[in-house]
Amino acid sequence: MAKVIYPGTFDPVTNGHIDIVSRAIELFDEVIVTVARNPGKTSLFTIEERVEMLKESLKDYERVVVDSFDGLVVNHAKQVGAVGIIRGLRAISDFEYEFQMALMNRKLAGEITTILLMPHARYTYLNSTIVRNLAQFQGDVSEFVPPIVVEKLKLKFGNKEG
């Protein structure tokens, strides 16, 4: 059974992330969406909140598991028996960082392959930071994120209307 992990901070999960999961599940038997604890980033949502939003957003996807981890992605991939690491590649600006990470991960664990997947064109400009900023100023994020995320963002930013 070919299993992959899709790590990220998912702060919050967007429709672009969901699109990557739907592409990955067409290629692999199981996709483990893994919320990473990133000490270099200040998160809006706790790990538990992000896991909850992912589980709700992905509940209709069979063969998708949601978990979290601390440490190196390649070590987590080994622990769960994954053959690869899925990464989303939105624009050329993502390429250099993802290329460097893929090469480092290959150096650390040559048996783990990094697979770069591109989302649908309508999600190429979308990221969690843009969604958080839009929500902070009461912008409508409903076309960019799953319904549970819309609700959680409203609660975080005190937006009771839309």
- What's the pLDDT score for residue 160? 56
**Mean pLDDT lowest for which of 30-34, 38-42, 44-48?**
38-42
Q: Thinking of the domain 3-125, which architecture would CATH place it in?
A: 3-Layer(aba) Sandwich (3.40)
SS3 7: strand
pLDDT in tens, 64-109: 999 999 999 999 999 999 999 999 998 887 898 899 999 999 999 9
Domains of the chain, residue spans: 3-125
> What are the backbone dihedrals phi and psi of residue 114, each rounded to the nearest 5 degrees, phi first?
-90, 130
Proportion of the chain above pLDDT 70, given as a percent: 98
What whole-number distance in Å separates Cα of residue 115 and Cα of residue 155?
35
- What's the pLDDT score for residue 144? 96
Burial 54-68 (b: 16+ CB within 10 A, else e): bbbbbeebeebbbeb
Q: What positions carry a catalytic annotation? A: 17, 41, 90, 128
Strand partners, 38: none
- What's the pLDDT score for residue 162? 46
Nearest-CA neighbor of 47 among 87, 18, 92, 12? 12
Question: To which H or E segment does residue 112 belong?
Answer: none
SS3 103: helix
For residue 98, what are the CA distances in angstroms to 36, 93, 95, 136? 16, 9, 5, 28
**Tokens linked to 92:** 């050329």
Q: 56 near 21, Cβ under 8 Å? A: no
**Tokens linked to 134:** 């839009």
> What are the backbone dihedrals phi and psi of residue 109, each rounded to the nearest 5 degrees, phi first?
-150, 85
